[in-house]
Structure 1
């Protein structure tokens, strides 16, 4: 037989030999992919199970208290109604916090969470938050230290409400899980990046639990639950908020020696910062007269609000209880409510909830409190807070941001009021600005503002306010300013049209 010829068996062997290795490799790869998919599915199922168990526990605990004390009251048991009401109220607030946190998380995961880009007085914000938690720490027997770098800017561009929310969560946890010792807030700023470092000497976190604590309802293997109450959403929500703000939260911790959380955020400085506070306290403000309703059971605090706000031009109404405050809000439709939390009968949070249900965001709500822990997880019920005892400069800063005010100061030449009567020729310009704002045409708005400034010199103050709102991409505020002007722009002719006589 020719040496080059092969038997059929040999040919088959030679044909199969080279194909066998790739076949085995392909099977191995497929098995690896299937194993990975199975592990991922099991991990997802485990996470889902853990999430539902945590949610069930967090819902059932306050519901049991509400149900149990309601039955005791129903049977006429020997229990003080005030005590039962207090427990029922706190349990319902716990449920409300849970729902608000879940809604925030769902908004983030669905990609519908909207951030505001506004000019924030960073130093003032941090000093106010630090002062609140200094009080909390002292009440618990802890030392509190706030350290700000000299490079920290006065003004930055950020979402003030969300930034405050994350800082409150981090500091609240630090104090909550520190039985003794100290809590420190250190803030650094370099190349537009702010670093907020919260350090405590508390119970610490095991290494293998340091990522789990950022999962909803996971509080570090149950160790934390024996130290302080909580719903286990604060850190999960804080990390999500940090990420959508373009930053991150990291943690280092050692059991028994404390924890070290770092929040890093890109916080650029605005091109033109608002004027500083060197002029002292305002003596008035520009534009229409605003109405403020103060609700507090302390007559001294109500007198303070009146002495501070009435002399500078506010209509100020006061109520000594939650029920009276709701009645006044219905009658007077205030622009803003200053709301105390600790009141007998109808508490502050219930008043805030009813105001939100009745008026939505048409009425701004500022919480007046000396207890920062009361604010955790309640962001949807208020627009900000002022610390008791009241720092007047911080109060006026907050009022200016919430109501869009331009202050007048002693010895300062007053700029043109926004309430000045604009001529008929402004009607068409206002109509065009309103139309462009509703469609989000930013370049067109810049051109229309220039046209208004050139055609109507009396609108100088209005153009300044509109330009500031446009620079901050605050189109809602822009439209509100347009809507407040007279004559109204709804039936005006387009800019450039001839005036009929």
Structure 2
């Protein structure tokens, strides 16, 4: 092979090698370009991930701060001072959320919210039941006890943060709102229930006061008329009818007193009115009431008192009498023969009184429910023993008010014993007995008195003036407070008996006016009201004492002698 041919082959090999080198270079250059582009893409993704992560951290921190602040605020403040609006503004003060609205159920929140919660609160009636997105709006329902009561609407801007992350961060805010709104609903319901209870209590008290007045006023005329008739000439038949009338009137008074006291118990109006009183007065009162009854029935009546018994006490004399009257009255009612014994002991600030009888006794079954209202030992249709079945329930309530207790032991066919123990204070104040006062007051002194009777009811005027007339007391009559002021301006009266409830001007207003004019003479309330509020109202108006209807001539005379 000649030299030219060899040279030609060499040139072809070099040309082929150069072409391969150029092809390899081109391939490597393309690979390098592609690698560079991939690197740029990866670097871009890393850069975006770093920005998104930073924004996530910022958004999460922003939400957490709002949760901490408003979580504390919702526990210490009510939702009527713009707290919700403040929370909505706080949520939207970042680069992710544009606006936030709170939609609440119209029927549930219209009375709770009103205009108090500020901007961003919308009353609405239709809500989404699940978390959902509509364009850039996130809808998150608010549920309380499986009931959707509203929804939080969050509008977000264009953001690198994914929507699931945004929703996950808003979820605790929704939980916080549900808790706060649930608490507000509960507080509102509690307040409404409290208002209803207070209104019910107020209505009950007003009803008890009204029915107390309406029942006692005609009863005063009935019993007063019967008492006045006792001093007139009557034949035997008329005397028997008067006896029946008096007995029925007394029975009616006891029934009315029991029913009214029971109503007071239920209304929380049973109050104690403590006064200074003597034990001899209490003992003599019981003997005076029950000794004639037991003598007529042919049973013996004993009152035994411990030698250590103090003379003077400070407590509710009337209520203690009421307890004793109920217990002794029951003993007489259920005892046909034998004896009734009252024993009283005093020890370390407590009065212990037992009332025992030799009557029919009480079965074990009946004993367990005897202190319940309307329960009687004799429940048969024969009705051998009259009564309302309220006396012992009232006794138990009164004893409880005096920080005491009452117990019963009984054996059928042998008798019963009731024992009550009450807390009582000794008193060093000397109070003259009514009997002594009556004895020291002469008819001549009564004849010198001039009394003004202020009452708008004609039958009440007749009863009290007839009683005053029998005492030889001079009197004038006024029909209301206005007439009373006119009469006092013209005349000089030793005592004024003032009815409390009258047209034109009631007794409270009239008394207040008189005291403002420095009128110094005794003003005694004539009232059918027996509640503590009624008595306090009398005293606050300037009245000196109270004569409760129905009253007897003896009680009327006693209070006159007290103030003359």
Normalising by the residue count of structure 1, what TM-score does the alignment of the two structures yield? 0.43
Quick check: which has more Rg, 1 or 2?
A: 2
- Give the number of the structure with larger relative contact order, counting CA–CA contacts within 8 Å between residues 6 or more apart: 1
Normalising by the residue count of structure 2, what TM-score does the alignment of the two structures yield? 0.39
